[in-house]
Amino acid sequence: MIFLVTAFKGLRKLKGIFFDRFYTPIAKVVFLLNGVEFQPGLHVNGLLNVNVTRRGSVTIGNNLSINSGEQFNVIGRQQKCIVWVEGSLIIKDNVGMSGVAIICNHQIIIGNNVLLGGNTVIYDTDFHSLEPTLRSSRKHDRLNARWGAVIIEDNVFIGAHSTILKGVHIGENSVVGAGSVVSKSIPSNEVWAGNPVKFIRKVTN
C-alpha cells in the first residue's frame, strides 16, 4: 500500500511538472489573440477564460501571476480565471490573482503589488437597470445599468471570495477581509470586512 501511495504521488508530481510548462505559453497566445498588451514576467497556472471585445482594451504590467482552475485554486469554488472586457482594464506590476472574475464594462484599474484572493470578483457595472419597466427590454436594460470605475491602489490585499462592486475606490495598503461585499470606497491603510463591508481597524506595521 505504501508503494502505491508513493507511486501515485510521484506520478501526480510528474504530471504537474509536464503540464505546468505549457500554461504560460498558452496564456500568452490567448492574450495576443485578444489584443492584450502584457509585459515580461507573466506566469500562469491553468487555463484562462479571456474575452476582450472590439471596444475593449487590456494593459498588463510586469510579473502578473495567475492561478486558474481546480488544480491551482484549491480553496473551494475552483473556477477558471475569467477576464471579460468591453472597457479599459489596467493591471499594473507585481499583481497576483487566483480564480478571479474581472468583468470590465467601462474602467477597472488594479495597482502595483496587489493580491486578489481566490474567487474574488470585480464588477464595474450593475449589469441590469434597477427599473423593472426597463428590464423588460434587453437593449434599454443594458443601456440604463448603473456603472462606476473601480480603482484598487498599490499594495492592497483582497481576501478570498470577496466581491468588489461598481464605483469602489480602495486606497493603498488597505486590506479587505475574506467574503466581503465591497459597495463603498475604502480609505488607505485600513482593514475592512463584512457584508456589507465595514471598518475594522487601521493597518499596523
| Range 40-54 average pLDDT | 94
Rounded to a whole number, what is the largest CA-CA distance in the chain? 66
* Cell matching residue 181: 461585499
| Range 43-65 average pLDDT | 95
Q: Any residues with CB less than 8 A from the CB of 15 and at least 6 apart, and which?
A: none
pLDDT at 134 over 70: no
The CATH number of the domain holding residue 186 is 2.160.10.10
* Cell matching residue 188: 488607505
- Residue range of the domain that includes 115: 2-202
Least confident piece of the model among 7-16, 65-74, 87-96, 113-122: 7-16
Distance CA 57, CA 71 (A): 29
Least confident piece of the model among 51-55, 73-77, 95-99, 128-132: 73-77
* Cell matching residue 129: 437597470
What global pTM score does this model have? 0.87
Residues catalogued as catalytic = 128
Indicate the number of domains in the chain.
Answer: 1
Give which of 194, 52, 183 is closest to 123, Cα–Cα.
183
* Cell matching residue 199: 471598518
